[in-house]
């Protein structure tokens, strides 16, 4: 059988794939390059790791399993009928995203961002900054999304004795009830018909002046213009944004220069061993595939995750 690796990795990661797969499988490394020659090679393959173009998929009659290199399904919602297995990396980034979430919240509350800016200027402020710090202890936290990320965030918060509520697609209707008393609103939502624009101006205006907004899901879940206006007018304490409507964030976005905003640049899903751990995940799934068992992270394109 032939396995096509479409994702761009470091050389050592391709070697890790080959060490695990050869000689049982023939491994073709595409490096994420898109051209007719590589498309032709892909069309001879049985298994693929990585997010190949839609037209490659629609042209394949050989493919038995596609393992995506992402949690997000865009643009594969537009797949024509397909008969192969389709799996994604759902849950793979949970711990990592949850840790950046905590890092971001604590950075705002304990003013790590401001202390870093002061350090850049060799400027000792000392005691006066203490009055501007907050405690996470016992805060009311509202998490939108009950997937791996949301549940991991809840777990990491446990030692802080927070009062944490998780809303999922069935309970999201209660959002307006919770917002006025929420200290920290954390969006971990996937992009679906229901989540696009969900966090609108009306909802954002229900938050307290001391509230913090965190988005580690998808930028499309928030009305970004409304959020910017609310932050500019200090109607909430601040925001930690791992995602924005457009990425990279355009240079002219006012979010760059807001002292109450921390931009984590879609880094939350990353860690030093991320790529190596993806190979391990794929190989584990391949063993299930070989045994004809159900694969981990089979995608439901109707639900959208």
> For binding to its own copies (CB under 8 A), which residues are involved?
95-96, 99-100, 102-104, 106-107, 109-113, 115-120, 122, 124-127, 129-137, 155-160, 247-249, 251, 256-257, 262-272, 274-275
Q: What span, in angstroms and rounded, lies between the C-alpha atoms of 76 and 92?
A: 19
Q: Is 124 exposed, middle or buried (0-12, 13-18, 19+ CB in 10 A)?
A: exposed
Helix (H, G, I), strand (E, B) or coil at 267: coil
Shortest distance (Å) from residue 96 CB to its own copies:
6
Neighbours of 118 (CB within 10 A): 15
Q: What span, in angstroms and rounded, lies between the C-alpha atoms of 244 and 251?
A: 13
Shortest distance (Å) from residue 139 CB to its own copies:
11
Shortest distance (Å) from residue 287 CB to its own copies:
24
Q: Residues in the chain, how many?
A: 305
Q: What span, in angstroms and rounded, lies between the C-alpha atoms of 146 and 25?
A: 38
Shortest distance (Å) from residue 232 CB to its own copies:
16
Q: What span, in angstroms and rounded, lies between the C-alpha atoms of 186 and 154?
A: 10
First to last CA, the chain: 28
Name the residue nearer to its own copies (CB basis): 54 or 125: 125
Name the residue nearer to its own copies (CB basis): 84 or 160: 160
Name the residue nearer to its own copies (CB basis): 80 or 121: 121
Shortest distance (Å) from residue 279 CB to its own copies:
15
Name the residue nearer to its own copies (CB basis): 184 or 263: 263
Shortest distance (Å) from residue 74 CB to its own copies:
17
Residue 228, φ and ψ in degrees, nearest 5: -60, -45
Name the residue nearer to its own copies (CB basis): 60 or 164: 164
Q: Are 215 and 189 in contact (CB under 8 A)?
A: no
Name the residue nearer to its own copies (CB basis): 74 or 290: 74
């Amino acid at each position: 059988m032939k396995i096509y690796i479409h994702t761009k990795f470091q050389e050592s990661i391709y070697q890790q794939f080959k060490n695990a797969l050869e000689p049982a499988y023939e491994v073709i490394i595409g490096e994420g390059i898109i051209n007719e020659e590589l498309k032709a090679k892909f069309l001879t393959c049985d298994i693929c790791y990585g997010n190949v173009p839609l037209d490659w998929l629609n042209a394949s009659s050989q493919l038995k399993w596609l393992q995506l290199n992402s949690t997000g399904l865009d643009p594969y919602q537009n797949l024509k009928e397909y008969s192969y297995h389709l799996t994604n990396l759902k849950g793979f980034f949970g711990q990592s995203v949850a840790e950046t979430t905590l890092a971001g919240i604590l950075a705002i509350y304990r003013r790590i961002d401001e202390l870093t800016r002061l350090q850049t200027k060799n400027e000792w402020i000392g005691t006066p900054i203490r009055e501007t710090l907050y405690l996470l202890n016992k805060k009311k936290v509202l998490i939108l999304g009950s997937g791996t990320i949301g549940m991991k965030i809840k777990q990491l918060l446990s030692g802080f004795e927070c009062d944490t509520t998780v809303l999922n697609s069935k309970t999201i209707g209660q959002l307006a009830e919770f917002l006025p008393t929420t200290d920290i609103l954390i969006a971990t939502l996937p992009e679906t018909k229901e989540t696009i624009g969900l966090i609108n101006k009306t909802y954002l205006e229900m938050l307290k002046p001391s509230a913090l907004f965190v988005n580690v899901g998808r930028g499309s879940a928030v009305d970004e213009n409304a959020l910017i206006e609310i932050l500019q007018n200090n109607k909430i304490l601040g925001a930690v944004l791992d995602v924005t409507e457009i990425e990279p964030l355009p240079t002219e976005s006012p979010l760059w220069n807001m002292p109450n905003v921390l931009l984590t640049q879609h880094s939350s899903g990353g860690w030093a061993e991320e790529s190596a751990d993806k190979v391990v995940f794929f190989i584990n799934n391949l063993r299930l595939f070989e045994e004809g068992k159900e694969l981990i992270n089979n995608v439901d394109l109707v639900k959208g995750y």
